[in-house]
Amino acid sequence: MSTALAKKIRELRQKRGYTLEKLGELTESSKSYIWELENKSPPRPSAEKLQAIAKVLGVTVDYLIGSETPEDLQTAEDRAFFREYQRMSPVLKAKLREMRKLLDDKA
C-alpha cells in the first residue's frame, strides 16, 4: 500500500529522470532508504532527509507530506524557487530579473 508521501516522491523522482540511486546520491541517502520511502507503509523519513528530498525535487516539505492546507505541484515548485531566490546573491538576483525582462519582451 503506497502512501501519498511515497507516491509524490516516486512521481517527482521519475518526472525529473532520477533513479533511486541518483536521488539517494543527491540527498546523501542510500538507494535502499529512498526505496523504503517509496514502498514501505508507512514511510518514516527524518525531518532532515525529508527537507533534502524536497529541495532536490524542487518542492516544499509541506507539498510532500500533504499539510493541512494542500498545495498543488506548481505552487510547491514556486515556493521552493522563491526560497532559493531569497538566498541568492544580489548579482544573481539582478541577472534573473534581467532574464525575466528578456523573456517578457519575447512573448
**How many other C-beta atoms lie within 10 A of the C-beta of residue 37?**
26
Cα–Cα nearest to 36, from 48, 26, 18, 23 = 23
Number of domains the chain contains: 1
Residues of the chain predicted below pLDDT 70? 1-2, 67-71, 106-107
**Domain housing 22:** 4-106
- pTM for this structure? 0.69
Number of H helices, E strands in the chain: 7, 0
The answer to whether the beta carbons of residues 76 and 89 sit under 8 Å apart is: no
Q: How far apart are the first and last CA of the chain?
A: 45
- Grid cell locating 39: 514502498
Check which CATH number belongs to the domain holding 49 and give it.
1.10.260.40
